[in-house]
A = this chain, B = another copy of it.
Amino acid sequence: MLQGKRTWLFENKPAIISTGTTGGPFEAKGNIPDDFDILYDDMWIGEDSYEKAERVMFEDACSTAIEKAGLTKEDIQFMFAGDLVNQLTPTSFAARTLAAPYFGLFGACSTSMEGLALGAYIVNSGGSKYILTGASSHNSATEKQFRYPTEYGAQKPPTAQWTATASGAAVVSDQGMGPKVTSATIGKVIDMGLSDPYNMGGAMAPAAVDTIEAHFKERNIDPSYYDLIITGDLGKIGQHVAYDLLQDHGLHITKEQFVDCGLQIYKSDQPVQAGASGAGCSAAVAYGHFINKMKQGDFSKMLVVATGALLSPLSYQQKESIPCIAHAVSIEM
């Protein structure tokens, strides 16, 4: 099971038997609208707050995944999930609706793979037949909490990233068809002293590199093993930094192989500065776009490296730098 210091191999190959993805109106106009199961016309989703809207969006992703698996919510034994809102408000309230035994997780935008790593581990070792995992983010709820209410129209520098309004959920089981979760490498907190919350991609890049290097070393494979190495979400700046660092460290990943969820979800002419971010971005893009492509036979092996900036408005105000983390999970057909 454990190989090296922080990599788990899943010998029983738990499968992602279904996924559910939901997104907002801005995502509907994006690059991959067909990869969302549900797209909403407005940011409120019939609710009277953005946090409640995020809850509905995540509930819809979960219930879509459960339905596509031919299950009911009573079949889900454990749920591993989180979001960016303080105290995981949308996720905790969604867990109330789903009524499944629940592990609340916080890893900022790395939450998607934190949940998949833990959930796949539990399924692989016989601790559950069906687990549900996922993550969400809502642009207006997140901007209000971390920066400014979107209604203020505050400007952002070109290094900033756009928080996606999106959710992704997956049902993982030891039986059933679907891409297999074959291993996971768990991230350490890496902090290179960057403190600009408008350049989180740059801050997170070294964490992604640390986890990717550990993954290849501990699995004793080289980058050519994977068709794609997918970060989520470094954006333009961070992905560039990560690519250069990986080359410097002697890991020969090609530019074609190295993609970022934050650069997939929107069209190049959408005004998102350096790209997308948000816990829901890597969840929706990995469980929607990339899993769909795998199932269509476009490629067969991917490493998803979800990166999180573990800052808070308070740590920023207290002049702290940004601690970052990345968790990598391999998914193979």
Question: At the interface with chain B, which of A234-242, A244-252, A318-326?
Answer: A318-326
Interface status of A89 (Cβ within 8 A of chain B): yes
A101 to chain B, nearest CB (A): 4
What residue in chain B is nearest A121 (Cβ atoms)? Answer: B127
Q: Which residues of B contact A190 (CB under 8 A)?
A: 96
Assuming the contacts A52-B318, A320-B93, asked whether A186 and B103 have C-beta atoms less than 8 A apart, the reply is yes
Assuming the contacts A105-B103, A118-B103, asked whether A51 and B187 have C-beta atoms less than 8 A apart, the reply is no
Whether the pair B1, A125 counts as a contact (CB closer than 8 A) is: yes
Identical chains in the assembly? 2
Contact with B along A182-203 (1 / 0, CB 8 A): 0000111111000000000000
Contact with B along A31-54 (1 / 0, CB 8 A): 000000000000000001101100
Whether the pair A318, B51 counts as a contact (CB closer than 8 A) is: yes
Interface status of A95 (Cβ within 8 A of chain B): yes
How far does the alpha carbon of A102 sit from the alpha carbon of B2 in the complex, in Å?
15
Interface status of A107 (Cβ within 8 A of chain B): yes
Q: Known A-B contacts: A100-B188, A121-B127. Give 7 more (CB < 8 A).
A: A85-B312, A87-B312, A93-B320, A96-B191, A102-B189, A103-B186, A104-B106
Whether the pair A96, B312 counts as a contact (CB closer than 8 A) is: no
How far does the alpha carbon of A191 sit from the alpha carbon of B49 in the complex, in Å?
20
Tell me the chain A residues, 123-182 only, with Cβ under 8 Å from chain B: 125-129
Interface status of A92 (Cβ within 8 A of chain B): yes
Q: Which residues of B contact A254 (CB under 8 A)?
A: none
A212 to chain B, nearest CB (A): 14
Q: Which residues of B contact A101 (CB under 8 A)?
A: 5-6, 186-188
Contact with B along A74-106 (1 / 0, CB 8 A): 000110001001111100110110011111111
Whether the pair B102, A325 counts as a contact (CB closer than 8 A) is: yes
Q: Which residues of B contact A320 (CB under 8 A)?
A: 93
What residue in chain B is nearest A106 (Cβ atoms)? Answer: B104
How far does the alpha carbon of A126 sit from the alpha carbon of B121 in the complex, in Å?
11
Interface status of A314 (Cβ within 8 A of chain B): yes
What residue in chain B is nearest A5 (Cβ atoms)? Answer: B77
Q: List 14 A-B contacts (CB under 8 A).
A: A2-B126, A52-B318, A78-B186, A82-B106, A85-B314, A93-B315, A93-B323, A95-B189, A102-B189, A103-B107, A103-B186, A106-B106, A121-B125, A125-B126
How far does the alpha carbon of A5 sit from the alpha carbon of B87 in the complex, in Å?
26
Interface status of A205 (Cβ within 8 A of chain B): no
